[in-house]
C-alpha cells in the first residue's frame, strides 16, 4: 500500500517541460488546472485534443501516459490540453447535477471553457476539437460528449462508463462513488441511456461526437459490462446498429466492434487486458482525422 501511495505522489509531482500553465482561461467554478502543449511549428487553424487523466493523476503525469505531445510536435496540426482535477482523489466529477448539465458550474463547465479559450487564443478550428481520457478521464469524455456535443467532433477513450452512470452518486472516486456503476451493475436500455444524454443539454437537436471506446475484458476496477452500456448509449444517440466484428484489430487480441458504417461508433474489446487499456495514440489521431 505504501508503494502505491509513493507512486501516486511521484506521479502527481511529475512535470513535463513541454506544458505551459494557463490561469486565465475563463470561468473555472471547480478550480481546475489547465496545462497546454503548443508545437513550435503550429499550423494555421489547428485542431485541439483535450486529454483527461484518471483518478489519482494529474495532467502532467497523464502527458507521459498518453503521449500526444511528440505527435503534436511532429505534425504541428494540433495543440494538446492536459487539465487536472484536485478534488475527490483527483477524479473528474461525473456525478453531480452541476457537472452533468451544460454550463451548470461543474467540472465539465470548466473544461469546456478551456476549449473556448484555446479556440480564441490560437485561432483553432472549432470543427476539429476532440476529447480523450482514461478511466475517470473516459467517464468525463462520455459526459463532455453529452453536455457539449456542439464543441467536440469526436471522442476516443479507455476503460470508462456511460454518461450518466454515476448520476446522483455521492462522488466520483473509488472511495466516494456508488460502487454499482464501476461494478457494471447499472444496466439500462439504449433509450434510457439516450434520454439521460439528451437531458444534459436540454433542447439540443444537433449531432453528437463520433465515439470510439476501449475496454479490457479483465478489468476488475471498472468492469467489462460497462463497455456494452456505453455502446447501447451511443448507438441509440447516433441511430446505428451493430454491424460486424473485426478481430485482431487494431492489435492482436483486440476486437473492433463496428456500428453502422464505422464512422460514428466503434467499441474495442481488449482480451485479457485489465485497468486501464494502454493508450493507443496513433489510433486516437486516426479516429480524430488528425
Catalytic residues: 135
DSSP-assigned letter for residue 82:
E
CA-based nearest residue to 182, from 164, 197, 215, 160: 160
Q: CA-CA distances (angstroms) from residue 120 to 115, 143, 259?
A: 9, 23, 35
CA-based nearest residue to 219, from 230, 205, 208: 230
Structural contact between residues 138 and 159, judged by C-beta atoms closer than 8 angstroms: yes
CA distance 218 to 199: 32
CA distance 283 to 5: 32
Residue 103, sorted as left (phi over 0), alpha (psi -120 to 50) or beta, turns out to be left
CA-based nearest residue to 78, from 24, 112, 41: 41
CA distance 193 to 237: 9
User: If you count them, how many residues does the chain have?
Assistant: 290
Q: All 3 cell numbers of residue 65?
A: 501516459
CA distance 237 to 196: 10
CA distance 147 to 132: 15
Amino acid at each position: 500500500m505504501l508503494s502505491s501511495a509513493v507512486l501516486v505522489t511521484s506521479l502527481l509531482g511529475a512535470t513535463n517541460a513541454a506544458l505551459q500553465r494557463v490561469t486565465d482561461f475563463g470561468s473555472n467554478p471547480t478550480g481546475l488546472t489547465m496545462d497546454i502543449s503548443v508545437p513550435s511549428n503550429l499550423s494555421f487553424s489547428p485542431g485541439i485534443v483535450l486529454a483527461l487523466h484518471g483518478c489519482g493523476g494529474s495532467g502532467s503525469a497523464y502527458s507521459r501516459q498518453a503521449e500526444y505531445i511528440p505527435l503534436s510536435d511532429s505534425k504541428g496540426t494540433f495543440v494538446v490540453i492536459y487539465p487536472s482535477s484536485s478534488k475527490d482523489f483527483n477524479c473528474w466529477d461525473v456525478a453531480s447535477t452541476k457537472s452533468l448539465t451544460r454550463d451548470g458550474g461543474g467540472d465539465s463547465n470548466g473544461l469546456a471553457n478551456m476549449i473556448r479559450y484555446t479556440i480564441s487564443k490560437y485561432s483553432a478550428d472549432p470543427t476539429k476539437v476532440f476529447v480523450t481520457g482514461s478511466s475517470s478521464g473516459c467517464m468525463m469524455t462520455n459526459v463532455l460528449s453529452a453536455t457539449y456535443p456542439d464543441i467536440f467532433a469526436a471522442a476516443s477513450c479507455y476503460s470508462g462508463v456511460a454518461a450518466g452512470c454515476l448520476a446522483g452518486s455521492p462522488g466520483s472516486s473509488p472511495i466516494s462513488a456508488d460502487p454499482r456503476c464501476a461494478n457494471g451493475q447499472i444496466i439500462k436500455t439504449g433509450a434510457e441511456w439516450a434520454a439521460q444524454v439528451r437531458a444534459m443539454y436540454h433542447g439540443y437537436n444537433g449531432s453528437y461526437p463520433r465515439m470510439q471506446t476501449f475496454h479490457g475484458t479483465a478489468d476488475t476496477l471498472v468492469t467489462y459490462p460497462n463497455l456494452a452500456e456505453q455502446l447501447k448509449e451511443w448507438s441509440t444517440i447516433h441511430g446505428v446498429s451493430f454491424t460486424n466484428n473485426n478481430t485482431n484489430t487494431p492489435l492482436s487480441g483486440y476486437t473492433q466492434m463496428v456500428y453502422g458504417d464505422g464512422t460514428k461508433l466503434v467499441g474495442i474489446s481488449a482480451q485479457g487486458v485489465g485497468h486501464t487499456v494502454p493508450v493507443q495514440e496513433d489510433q486516437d489521431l486516426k479516429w480524430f482525422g488528425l
